Amino acid sequence: DQQVKQNSPSLSVQEGRISILNCDYTNSMFDYFLWYKKYPAEGPTFLISISSIKDKNEDGRFTVFLNKSAKHLSLHIVPSQPGDSAVYFCAASDGGSEKLVFGKGTKLTVNP
Amino acid sequence: KAGVTQTPRYLIKTRGQQVTLSCSPISGHRSVSWYQQTPGQGLQFLFEYFSETQRNKGNFPGRFSGRQFSNSRSEMNVSTLELGDSALYLCASSLGGQGVSGNTIYFGEGSWLTVV
């Protein structure tokens, strides 16, 4: 039973445009959500997170939106740059633990 | 500040053998977690240690085990290796004690295990 789902295995966008990566979750106990970025042959790198008490968190070009009623979150990257090309993982936690439940990832390609 | 260090980076083992992977967390971090990444299953949580105690365990068979030492370094062991154990094994560390909402979790580059 996959508790965190990223339904798009891949996404391709043009440089300068917006990238929107989506994530759905099923477990109502999750109260903290994170996005990680992963390049080949490297470990995941933390990007941005959001608590369930918020509906938006922004950090530079990255914004995460949370819709609790729909159990859906999205990561917006504006403007997208070729260096953003990587696999993006959505992860969730019950906040009180160190355990992360990951989605299977979305491979983002930003074309120059 | 050194990041999370994992050794070895690459290894090949034969079915039935056992393997030990090592992880040195970021200095001052007391929580160490392990994850398995495979193409089919994605990133899956194995277990988490804090101050030498296992606090959380994922849904993996007993062949997968781990431990943490007093200096926070951790090892994980897989016994009686199967072909399906071929994966990238990632170690992550954090200050610990407050859950992910209070601490950033940092990942190492991983150990690539191939079972033949």
Going residue by residue through chain A (112 aa), what tens digit of pLDDT does each one get?
A: 789 999 999 999 999 999 999 999 999 999 999 999 999 888 999 999 999 999 999 999 999 999 999 999 999 999 999 999 999 999 999 867 789 999 999 999 999 9
The C-alpha atoms of residue B83 and residue B86 are separated, in whole angstroms, by 6
Q: Which residues of A touch B104 (CB under 8 A)?
A: 46
B104 vs B86, residue with greater confidence = B86
* Dihedral sign of CA atoms A5, B88, B22, A38 in order: negative
The C-alpha atoms of residue B43 and residue A103 are separated, in whole angstroms, by 7
pLDDT at B40 (0 to 100): 80
pLDDT at B26 (0 to 100): 95
The overall average pLDDT reported for chain B is 93
Interface contact B56-A95, CB threshold 8 A: no
pLDDT at A47 (0 to 100): 96
The C-alpha atoms of residue A28 and residue B14 are separated, in whole angstroms, by 42
Percent of chain B with pLDDT over 70: 99
Which residue in A43, A49, A93 is closest to B107 by CB distance?
A43
Structure tokens at A60: 């530079």
Which residue in B58, B94, B100 is closest to A95 by CB distance?
B100
Short-list A34, A98, A46, CA closest to B51: A98
pLDDT of B32 strictly over 90 = yes
Residue B17: pLDDT band by 50, 70, 90 thresholds? very high
Q: Which residues of A touch B103 (CB under 8 A)?
A: 98
Terminal Cα-to-Cα distance of chain B (whole angstroms):
37
Residue A83 three-state SS:
helix
Q: Which chain A residues touch B if contact means CB-CB below 8 Å?
A: 31-32, 34, 36, 41-46, 49, 51, 89, 91, 93-105
The C-alpha atoms of residue A58 and residue B53 are separated, in whole angstroms, by 36
Most confidently modeled range among A36-45, B9-18, B90-99: B9-18
B44 Cα to chain A: minimum distance (Å): 7
